[in-house]
């Protein structure tokens, strides 16, 4: 049975970009900044810990794995929380936990305390990412949601090279220098000032049956935008939509979602092993090849400069071309660059190929974040994205051991050959997904019919 609603999709899609949208990008970009920074803080600290605490690579793998298991729990639980309690509330909780436990990382006194703190930090960071992605996808118009998702990521991902630069200064200054890197990561708490001012999403209110709140919030948004941009265009006629209900976790394994869930799980598992097999291990592997810690950190920092440029490229092409195609092409180019990186120890070539890897990978990931969120309806969007992303992150519980095993048994080059093969497999998996660019979320997820009601104007 179909029934009319508030025409939220078309009313949000016809809004021009305004200060409301810009404030969202700024607030979430700051949150992304420290979320992405946290992904690399341990990789920067690890070489110093190896020397100070006399740790073998297997122990580094244990700590890495604890963080990724936390990411699995956090993405899944955070996605569930986002669907149940609201996107905004989940963002706030995730950010507070991320900042608190990043600070606690700095107080670690042994391997197990650090592993526990990294576990909870991983939980918070993945929950923050999932809900930030969902927020942007549900708020921004369909014609530009990929662009602005990519833009927020591009701004936020500068956290990686900036954290790398700060690490090269902090870590050598004293034995406790690696602890200060984690203190830096805790500064993300300041993003809270922007996030608390965001609106809860009208789509979420409607899904929870809080129609009056959905209507009130939507009208507030329209009033602000109309005040800045003048009278708003009449929205497209309201499509007939399925009754909006609260979803169940099992829904992502039924109907059209089943195939999508399987595809996304495969993609996120492969992407995680390939991406972190490179990013988390490069500083340590370079040191193992005889390159000094300071040079290794410098190369790693220069390499990450490609990340924000890649995200900007991803933002520019996300809505211009089909997102699925962008993802597939990116995978094959990354596979080539990774192999070439592993084939040389020339400092210039290390930086050049590493830069290209980070550049193309972030073009890939900015499109994949958008694509993942698009493949589920409002009632299970955060959970569906969280579970698939989380399972991918959980795969890196074994990922570090795989890299350690390959390096120890088969050598440096074969580590990068394996990573190249995994990127190619990622492209094959995404090939079977649906098209999403310039389609409404309701159209992508089959919740609308071809019949229409008269458009509800409202401003």
Domain 8-449: which CATH class? mainly alpha
Q: Contact at 8 Å (CB) between 103 and 183?
A: yes
Q: Contact at 8 Å (CB) between 191 and 34?
A: yes
Collapsing DSSP to helix, strand or coil, 210 comes out as coil
Domain ranges within the chain, ordered by starting residue: 8-449
Let me know how long the chain is. 459
Q: Nearest CA to 128 among 146, 161, 102?
A: 102
pLDDT digits (tens, 9 = 90+) for 179-193: 898 898 899 899 999
Q: What is the pTM of this model?
A: 0.82
Range list of β-strands (E), 165-315: 239-241
pLDDT digits (tens, 9 = 90+) for 233-267: 888 776 655 555 556 778 889 888 999 999 999 99
Residue 453, token pair as written in the block = 């009601």
DSSP label of 252 = G
Spatial separation of the C-alpha atoms in residues 417 and 77, rounded to whole Å? 34
pLDDT digits (tens, 9 = 90+) for 345-366: 787 888 888 899 989 998 999 8
Q: Which residue has the tokens 């490609």?
A: 306
Q: What are the distances in angstroms from CA 351 to CA 37, 218, 291, 336, 337?
A: 20, 48, 13, 15, 11
Q: Is the pLDDT of residue 455 over 50?
A: no
Q: Whole-number mean pLDDT of the chain?
A: 85
Residue 64, token pair as written in the block = 């890495």
**DSSP element (H, E) containing 224:** helix 211-229
pLDDT digits (tens, 9 = 90+) for 3-21: 457 888 889 999 999 999 9
Collapsing DSSP to helix, strand or coil, 448 comes out as strand
Q: What percent of the chain has a predicted confidence (pLDDT) above 70?
A: 91
């Amino acid at each position: 049975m179909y029934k009319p609603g508030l025409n939220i999709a078309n009313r949000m899609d016809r809004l021009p970009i305004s200060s409301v949208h810009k404030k969202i990008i700024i607030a979430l970009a700051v949150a992304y900044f420290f979320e992405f920074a946290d992904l690399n803080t341990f990789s920067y600290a690890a070489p110093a810990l190896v020397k100070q605490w006399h740790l073998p690579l297997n122990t580094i793998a244990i700590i890495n794995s604890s963080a990724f298991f936390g990411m699995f729990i956090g993405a899944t639980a955070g996605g569930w929380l986002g669907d149940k309690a609201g996107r905004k509330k989940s963002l706030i909780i995730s950010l507070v936990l991320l900042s608190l436990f990043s600070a606690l990382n700095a107080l670690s006194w042994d391997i197990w305390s650090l592993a526990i703190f990294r576990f909870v930090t991983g939980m918070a960071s993945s929950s923050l990412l999932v809900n930030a992605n969902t927020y942007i996808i549900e708020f921004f118009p369909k014609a530009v949601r990929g662009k602005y998702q990519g833009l927020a990521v591009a701004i936020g991902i500068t956290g990686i090279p900036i954290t790398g630069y700060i690490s090269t200064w902090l870590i050598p200054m004293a034995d406790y220098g690696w602890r200060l890197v984690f203190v830096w990561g805790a500064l993300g708490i300041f993003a809270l000032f922007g996030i608390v001012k965001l609106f809860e999403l009208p789509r979420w209110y409607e899904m929870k049956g809080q129609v009056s709140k959905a209507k009130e919030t939507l009208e507030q948004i329209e009033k602000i935008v109309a005040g800045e941009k003048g009278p708003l265009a009449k929205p497209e006629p309201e499509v007939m939509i399925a009754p909006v209900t609260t979803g169940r976790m099992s829904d992502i394994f039924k109907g059209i979602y089943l195939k999508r869930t399987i595809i996304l799980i495969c993609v996120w598992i492969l992407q995680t092993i390939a991406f972190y097999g490179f990013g988390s291990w490069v500083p340590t592997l370079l040191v193992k090849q005889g390159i000094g810690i300071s040079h290794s950190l410098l190369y790693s920092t220069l390499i990450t400069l490609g990340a924000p440029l890649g995200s900007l490229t991803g933002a520019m092409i996300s809505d211009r071309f089909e997102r699925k195609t962008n993802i597939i092409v990116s995978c094959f180019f990354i596979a080539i660059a990774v192999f070439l990186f592993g084939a040389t120890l020339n400092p210039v070539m290390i930086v050049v190929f590493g830069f290209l890897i980070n550049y193309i990978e972030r073009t890939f990931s900015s499109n994949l974040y958008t694509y993942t969120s698009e493949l589920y309806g409002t009632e299970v969007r955060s959970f569906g994205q969280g579970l698939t992303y989380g399972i991918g992150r959980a795969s890196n519980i074994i990922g570090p051991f795989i890299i350690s095993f390959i390096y120890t048994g088969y050598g440096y080059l074969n580590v990068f050959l394996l990573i190249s093969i995994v990127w190619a497999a990622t492209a094959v998996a995404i090939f079977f997904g649906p098209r999403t660019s310039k389609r409404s979320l309701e159209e992508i997820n089959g919740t609308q019919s071809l019949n229409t009601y008269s458009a509800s104007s409202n401003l």
